[in-house]
């Protein structure tokens, strides 16, 4: 066993694991990686990701030779890459995201530059020599079998056409509007890849409590099964959604055709919990197609349109030519106007 250096950054993908547990690592290299395994890795070549977000939320600049506690996981990002956990032991892997998720790139956007390369020094182990895996550490433990149909908090769900369509800003604007109008609000991001900045923004905008999948021990949600996704959704709802006078704001990452988001949107348990649905898109044609897709694939009609398109008066004008659905202007943050849309 080797002691982990005090200067070693613990990435946000390991959020659910206590710092006091992360002390040592083993140099053995024969173990096949699994989703959630913690490793100590050394940066050997810088690529597009030259920063790491720590489990405290700080963004650190990294250089060649820097040691970080990374986490094996998968990633789905059409704008960047598709990453998977290696199916055999490997000494060299790639960094998918500044949250510290690592593995092998399976496919890559042609506009995406080279990845940052990592040398695996060893697996992080507990005092008994067992490899620490984030999926064995959860910060939220409600009893799902107590889930029932009594009156619950009003749930506002933010979905969109793709990554970077403006979902997080719409969710944050909703938190700001609700809290500004004296309402208690909780917020969560149920799918995506480890990154505290999104729920931190919701926290900054007035959410009393925030959480995401890393609170349940998942470095990302790509390729999780439907029952795992629903369990997280219901666990958050059970913990924070028991007062019918309160609100819950939830974001599903990526687009509505993405595997996990599509699975959730098709579930009756999810659909019946939606009080208001906010649909985010980058431009008017994306809104036009997205409205059809929501209705055709999921039987859903949004209560508001938001996202990047809502920041453009010209885009809004185009949208209003074919839809009378209210526009939630997330960057304007007119709390009274937004509240009237989502209350």
In this prediction, residue 29 has a pLDDT band, given cuts at 50, 70 and 90, of confident
**113/203 same-domain check:** no
Q: At which of 115, 136, 157 does a domain end?
A: 136
Domain identity same for 251 and 186: yes
Compute how many other C-beta atoms are within 10 angstroms of the C-beta atom of residue 88: 7
Q: What is the pLDDT of residues 171-190, one digit of tens each?
A: 999 999 999 999 999 999 99
pLDDT grade for 148, boundaries at 50, 70 and 90? low
- CA quadruple 216, 221, 298, 294: dihedral, nearest 10: 110
Length of the chain: 343
Claim to verify: residue 86 and residue 207 sit in the same structural domain: no
Which 3 state secondary structure label does DSSP give 227?
helix
Amino acid 343: pLDDT: 95
Residues 6+ apart with CB under 8 A from 130: none
Whether 122 and 194 share a structural domain: no
d(CA 313, CA 328): 12
Are 129 and 218 members of one domain? no
Q: Report the distance separating Cα 40 and Cα 194, nearest Å.
A: 17
Asked whether the predicted pLDDT for residue 28 surpasses 80, the reply is: no
Domain identity same for 132 and 164: no
**Alpha-carbon gap, residue 198 to 211, rounded angstroms:** 10
pLDDT of res. 147 = 62
Among residues 102, 117, 136, the one where a domain terminates is 136
Q: Is the pLDDT of residue 151 over 90?
A: no
Q: What is the pTM of this model?
A: 0.95
**Is the model's pLDDT at 99 over the cut of 90?**
yes
> Same domain, yes or no, for 125 and 155?
no
Same domain, residue pair 154 and 91:
no
Q: Quick one: pLDDT at residue 149?
A: 62
Residue 331: CATH number of its domain: 3.40.50.300
Phi, psi of 3 (to 5 degrees): -80, 135
Percent of the chain with pLDDT over 90: 92
The helix (run of H) or strand (run of E) holding residue 200 is helix 196-204
Burial zone of 212 (CB within 10 Å; 0-12 exposed, 13-18 middle, 19+ buried):
buried
How far apart CA 51 and CA 115 sit, in angstroms, is 12
Domain boundary among 97, 114, 136: 136
Q: Residue 58: give the domain boundaries.
A: 2-136
pLDDT for 145: 62
The number of domains in the chain is: 2
Q: Report pLDDT for 333.
A: 83
Give all strands (DSSP E) within 36-184, no chain letters: 38-45, 51-53, 59-61, 67-72, 75-76, 81-84, 92-95, 101-108, 116-125, 154-160
Pair (302, 197) in one structural domain: yes
Cα–Cα distance between 132 and 37 in angstroms, integer? Answer: 6
Does 173 share its domain with 258? yes
200 and 111, same domain (yes or no): no
Closest CA to 64 of 34, 48, 43, 36: 43
- On average, the pLDDT of the chain sits at 95
- Whether 330 and 220 map to the same domain: the answer is yes
Q: How far apart are CA 81 and CA 104, in angstroms?
A: 10
């Amino acid at each position: 066993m080797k002691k982990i250096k005090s200067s070693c950054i613990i990435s946000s993908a390991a959020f659910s694991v206590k710092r006091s547990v992360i002390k040592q690592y083993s140099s053995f290299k024969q173990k096949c990686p699994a989703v959630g395994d913690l490793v100590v890795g050394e940066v050997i070549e810088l690529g597009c990701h030259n920063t790491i977000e720590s489990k405290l939320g700080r963004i650190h600049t990294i250089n060649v030779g820097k040691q970080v506690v990374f986490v094996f996981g998968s990633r789905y990002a059409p704008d960047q890459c598709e990453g998977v956990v290696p199916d055999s032991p490997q000494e060299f892997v790639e960094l998918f995201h500044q949250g510290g998720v690592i593995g092998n790139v399976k496919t890559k956007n042609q506009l995406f530059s080279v990845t940052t390369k990592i040398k695996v020094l060893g697996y992080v182990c507990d005092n008994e020599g067992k490899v620490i895996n984030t999926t064995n550490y959860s910060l939220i433990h409600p009893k799902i079998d107590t889930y029932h149909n009594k009156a619950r908090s009003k749930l506002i769900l933010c979905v969109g056409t793709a990554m970077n369509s403006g979902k997080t800003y719409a969710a944050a604007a909703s938190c700001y509007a609700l809290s500004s109008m004296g309402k208690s609000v909780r917020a969560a991001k149920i799918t995506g890849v480890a990154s505290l900045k999104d729920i931190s923004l919701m926290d900054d905008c007035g959410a009393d409590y925030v959480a995401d999948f890393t609170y349940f021990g998942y470095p990302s949600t790509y390729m999780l099964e439907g029952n795992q996704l629903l369990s997280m959704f219901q666990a958050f709802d059970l913990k924070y959604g028991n007062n019918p006078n309160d609100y819950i704001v939830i974001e599903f990452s990526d687009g509505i055709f993405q595997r996990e988001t599509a699975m959730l949107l098709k579930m009756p348990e999810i659909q019946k919990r939606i009080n208001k649905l906010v649909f985010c898109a980058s431009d008017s044609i994306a809104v036009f197609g997205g409205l059809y897709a929501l209705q055709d694939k999921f039987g859903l009609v949004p209560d508001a349109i938001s996202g990047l398109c809502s920041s453009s008066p010209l885009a809004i004008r185009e949208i209003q030519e074919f839809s009378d659905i209210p526009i939630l202007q997330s960057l304007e943050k007119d709390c009274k106007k937004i509240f009237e849309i989502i209350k």
